Amino acid sequence: MRIALDAMGSDRAPTIEVEGAIGALRTLPGSFTLVLVGDRERIEAELARHPGASRERIEIVHAPSRIEMGEPPAQAIRRKPDSSIVVGLSLQKQGEVDAFISAGSTGAVMAGSLVILRPLPGVDRPAIGTVLPTRNGQTLLIDAGANVDTRPSHLLQFAHLGSIYARDLMGVENPRVGLLNIGEEPEKGDERSVEAYGLLAASPSLNFVGNVEGRGIIEEECDVLVCDGFAGNVLLKFYESVAAFFVDLVRAEVEATSATLDLSRIAQILDYTEYGGAPLLGVNGVTIICHGGSPPRAIVAAIRVAVQAVENHMVQHIQNRLARLTAPQGQS
Amino acid sequence: MRIALDAMGSDRAPTIEVEGAIGALRTLPGSFTLVLVGDRERIEAELARHPGASRERIEIVHAPSRIEMGEPPAQAIRRKPDSSIVVGLSLQKQGEVDAFISAGSTGAVMAGSLVILRPLPGVDRPAIGTVLPTRNGQTLLIDAGANVDTRPSHLLQFAHLGSIYARDLMGVENPRVGLLNIGEEPEKGDERSVEAYGLLAASPSLNFVGNVEGRGIIEEECDVLVCDGFAGNVLLKFYESVAAFFVDLVRAEVEATSATLDLSRIAQILDYTEYGGAPLLGVNGVTIICHGGSPPRAIVAAIRVAVQAVENHMVQHIQNRLARLTAPQGQS
């Protein structure tokens, strides 16, 4: 198995990516090879700073340019064919690698995945899944911001994409799918939600548990939380900032009272980076998106997710599910 | 000044309401009278349990029936003219009281306010404002769930309603208004947000600071956060549950390590009940909605908010602002 890693993506590229790659090869099981995509000279220079690390399962594919955060994604993909994102995704399209990971511009990774890998048949809008830490485990939020103005049929597709991800990558046998809404009853919420409820409830291959309110997320009322990318993105970013706020609150209290309390475990629970990158689900390939501010351990986690997705044939599973979903009535 | 309090609203009515009323009369400044609306016998029985409390500024208006949580709001308002909600709102309509507070069915209080008090001219959709605790203060979220499928013009009205509330009730001189969105640039977000951005930016009487992302709320990028009731309700309920989750996390850690840490201050910061009820803004009157699970101190806080709203002529200020807003071009 070969995993491509955009070495030029993060805010501190390629330092973070190289450190993450070395860490992944040292700590993760499996015999995958990492293909670092980016400026060969800079990557070599970074690797030279880790003289003890084995180079055996590391390759470099040169990509001289970089898509910057502010660039219009679709345009950048067209104009920079030699960028690490376009080169990395093209390697996957050509079958040279099995997955692509990037901490670069989310918009560009998404646009590139759509243009180069293409959506799977039956998927109108690939969506970003993100794992949220909850009271006793985690919940997959889909969509975390790839799509706004989604239609109910898109939300149904998100439910199937998320279900398979939760099963294949999170190890949940029969994932409970919830629809983010502002009330529990089927008729609650906006027009989109009411219609989506009907579609989800009518889909026999989904373990649909109904509407889940904002307060039900942390209480793990579902394993897969389906929502429009607007609400998903707001929730995700809000959660991150609240977590940081809360840790600061406790820290200040600890300092003020000279109490001794180890906050590392709490900080870790709330540390999204432990949960690795966010998959772009619904494209014909494995694309994992990381925060621009990712530390090396987030890169390691993303590599683990990518390896698992390939090992577990996630894309094939999604394809099979959606083929059944879009098959003419009576054949399913 | 006379404030009507629905004595039959909360999950533990009328115990909570009577305790809150007595607490408010004891602790709040001003010479307001509280009109307890509900089952006279039960209210009297509750009052009898506080023999030391003065009855001087407490009146009772009998309302024999109660609208239950599950009842369809609009129907319940029509069918139960002798319910505490309908009687209390009618007292305000008739000028017998200046404000109405209820911890009963939010839907019924809203429906009743619309039918009995009526929306102010220029308001298509009255909205619920809720104060969120932030890093160094608080932010008014509007709409917290009264409306879904809002149009951009509704969001503009929410901005004005929220601005006046923030000024009159929260003491913010020139409130910064933000639009909840998934990116900072004007063109980011769903269609509604893009159009609303244009309307907000073009309104000279608003101190519009642009889009605010999920992470900007806690960081107090604005004093008034404008959003559709779907996102607002999800955010609000999510925040409450996350706060509870965090407090539990820290408490478990404190117990596990036998550390001594007083969590009361933290719990208080995150305790919405300290912030009192949520105003329904845009109706021709003062309506304050409380949680069904409110403790007495939340009732006290709601009474304080109601008193301030009346003292500061909030409704008149909203009316003036909206009259200017809807005046023909050139006259404003």
What is the number of structural domains in chain A? 2
pLDDT at residue number A283: 97
- Determine, yes or no, domain membership for A34: yes
Burial class from Cβ neighbours inside 10 Å (0-12, 13-18, 19+) for residue A24 reads: buried
pLDDT band at residue A266 using 50, 70 and 90 as cut-offs: low
A95 or A324, greater pLDDT = A95
Pair (B109, B139) in one structural domain: no
Which residues 192-211 of A have a C-beta within 8 angstroms of B? 193
Inside any domain, residue B330: no
Do A14 and A113 sit in the same domain of this protein?
yes
Q: What is the pLDDT of residues A66-85, one digit of tens each?
A: 999 889 999 999 999 999 99
Our CA-based measurement puts residue A252 at a distance from the nearest CA of chain B, in whole angstroms, of 10
Return the pLDDT at A136: 83
**B104 and B185 share one domain:** no
For residue B38, being part of any structural domain is answered with yes
A234·B182 Cβ contact <8 A: yes
Do residues A131 and A119 share a domain? no
Both A111 and A173 in a single domain? Answer: no
Please tell me the predicted confidence (pLDDT) of residue B277: 87
What's the pLDDT at B240? 86
Q: A177 with A259, same domain?
A: yes
Collect all residues of chain B within an 8 Å Cβ-Cβ radius of residue A214: 233-241
Residue B117 has what DSSP assignment?
A: I
CA distance B304 to B306: 5
Lowest-pLDDT choice from A195-199, A319-323, B17-21: A319-323
With beta carbons under 8 A apart, name residues in chain A contacting B189. Answer: 148, 230
Is B246 in the same domain as B132?
Answer: yes
Residue A102 lies in a domain: yes
Average pLDDT, chain A: 92
Choose among A164, A149, A176, A208: nearest CA to A308: A164
ipTM: 0.91
- Domain assignment present for B312: no
Size of interface A-B (CB pairs under 8 A): 145
The verdict on a CB contact (< 8 Å) between B266 and A245 is no
Does any CB of chain A come closer than 8 Å to the CB of residue B190?
yes
* Residue whose C-alpha is closest to residue B1's, from B34, B37, B32: B32
C-beta atoms of A214 and B191 within 8 A:
no
- Its domain, for residue B154, covers 127-265
Would you say residue A320 lies in a domain?
A: no
Mutate to test the interface with B, among A184, A227, A242, A255 (most CBs of B within 10 A): A242
In a domain, A210, yes or no: yes
- Asked whether residue B115 falls in the same domain as residue B135, the answer is no
Find the range with the poorest average confidence among A123-137, A160-174, B44-58, B246-260: B246-260
Interface test with B, best of A130, A245, A265 (most B CBs within 10 A): A245
B85 and B17 assigned to the same domain = yes
pLDDT exceeds cutoff 70 at A175 = yes
Q: How confident is residue A332, by pLDDT bands cut at 50, 70 and 90?
A: very low
Residue A330 domain-assigned? no
Contact of B260 with chain A, judged by CB distance below 8 Å, is answered with yes
Closest Cα of chain A to B38: distance in Å? Answer: 28
Task: State residue A92's pLDDT score.
Answer: 98
- Locate the chain A residue with the closest alpha carbon to B149: A190
The domain that holds B260 is classified in CATH as 3.40.718.10
More confident of the two residues A252 and A33 = A33
Per-residue model confidence (pLDDT) at position B332: 39
- State whether A112 and A141 are in the same domain: no
Q: Would an 8 Å CB–CB cutoff place A149 in contact with chain B?
A: yes
Assess whether B261 and B131 both reside in one domain.
yes
- At B125, give phi and psi (nearest 5°): -140, 100
How does pLDDT run across B240-276, given as a tens digit for each residue?
888 888 888 888 877 777 667 767 766 766 666 556 7
pLDDT at B324 over 50: yes
- pLDDT at site B247: 82
The predicted structure's pLDDT at residue A331:
42
Give me the pLDDT at residue B330, please: 45
Same domain flag for A226 and A107: no
- A114 to chain B nearest CA, in Å? 19
- Tokens 């793990």, located at residue: A220
